[in-house]
């Protein structure tokens, strides 16, 4: 177990709706990254938050947005859901500043858009 | 061209076999190389982490990085049915930076 938790575990939404996914990072970590993993594919980087600021973004449209809170937990918000947004959403926590950082993943939230 | 290429398999081996998993990449800036194991419907679990070129061993697992060829490998010795999972390679240019993943290789170890 990594200590990274995500909620909810599963979610069903309809096209056009909005969704918020939550992540609690591992104790001692200050950075949260979000990834989208479509079925049969590797995770794709959405964005990263460090010290409550966006610290890098992948090739995702602005309707994907996020927040990081002072306790380093994070939210991923997706507006105007599309069918292709159906995927496993993974949160990964890490510590920037100590050298040799790597990312530890939570169990993911499985989103189905109908 | 994708940043990271990985043969999706599936790969099926008998218990006790040596398994070799590989990834190639195109970005010479990558310095950090990881292997993750992902069981069905679970999040990726970190197996190995390597900086720059060379070998790293941890129990039955050995990771190799050849930066001159832009090629990384994971070897699993004495494979067990519990090793049946999808194996993802990942890499990044700087610590704390985004990770680039392969598509994953599905492995089944037959008892």
Residue A7: its chain B contacts at CB < 8 A? Answer: none
Q: State pLDDT tens for residues B35-85.
A: 999 998 889 999 999 988 889 999 999 999 999 999 999 999 999 999 999
CA distance B6 to chain A (A): 10
Distance, in Å, from the CA atom of B94 to the CA atom of A47, rounded to the nearest integer, reads 15
Which tokens is B70 given?
A: 């832009």
B87 touches chain A (CB under 8 A): no
pLDDT at B52: 85
pLDDT at B13 over 70: yes
CB contact under 8 A, B41 and A110: yes
pLDDT at B86 over 60: yes
Residue with tokens 């939404």: A13
Please enumerate, as own/partner, the contacts of A62-67 that have beta carbons within 8 Å and a separation of 24 or more.
A66/A34
Which candidate in B97, B99, B102 is best for mutational testing of the A interface (most A CBs within 10 A)? B99
Confidence tier at B96 by pLDDT (50, 70, 90)? low
CB contact under 8 A, A108 and B4: no
SS (H, E, C) B70-97: CEEEEEECCCCHHHCEEEEEEEECCCCC
CB half-sphere exposure, A75, CA atoms < 13 A: 10
B75 touches chain A (CB under 8 A): no
Average pLDDT, chain B: 93
pLDDT at A100: 54
| A104 vs B41, B46, B97: nearest CB | B46
Which stretches of chain A score pLDDT less than 70?
Answer: 1-2, 98-101
Mean pLDDT of B85-106: 89
Mean pLDDT of B98-110: 94
Residue A30: its chain B contacts at CB < 8 A? Answer: none
């Amino acid at each position: 177990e990594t200590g990274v938790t995500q909620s909810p575990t599963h979610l069903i939404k309809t096209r056009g709706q909005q969704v918020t996914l939550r992540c609690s990072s591992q104790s001692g970590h200050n950075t949260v990254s979000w990834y989208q993993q479509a079925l049969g594919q590797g995770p794709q980087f959405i964005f990263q938050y460090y010290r409550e600021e966006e610290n890098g973004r992948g090739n995702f449209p602005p309707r994907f947005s996020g927040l990081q809170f002072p306790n380093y937990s994070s939210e991923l918000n997706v507006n105007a859901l599309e069918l292709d947004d159906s995927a496993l959403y993974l949160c990964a926590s890490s510590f920037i500043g100590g050298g040799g950082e790597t990312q530890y993943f939570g169990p993911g939230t499985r989103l189905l858009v109908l | 061209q994708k940043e990271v290429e990985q043969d999706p398999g599936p790969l099926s081996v008998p218990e006790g076999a040596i398994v070799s998993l590989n990834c190639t990449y195109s970005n010479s800036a990558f310095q950090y190389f990881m292997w993750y194991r992902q069981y069905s419907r679970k999040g990726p679990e970190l197996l190995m982490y390597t900086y720059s070129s060379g070998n790293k061993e941890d129990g039955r697992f050995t990771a190799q990085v050849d930066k001159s060829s832009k090629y990384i490998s994971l070897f699993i010795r004495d494979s067990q049915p519990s090793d049946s999972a999808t194996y993802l390679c990942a890499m990044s240019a700087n610590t704390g930076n985004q990770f680039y993943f392969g598509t994953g290789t599905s492995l089944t170890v037959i008892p």
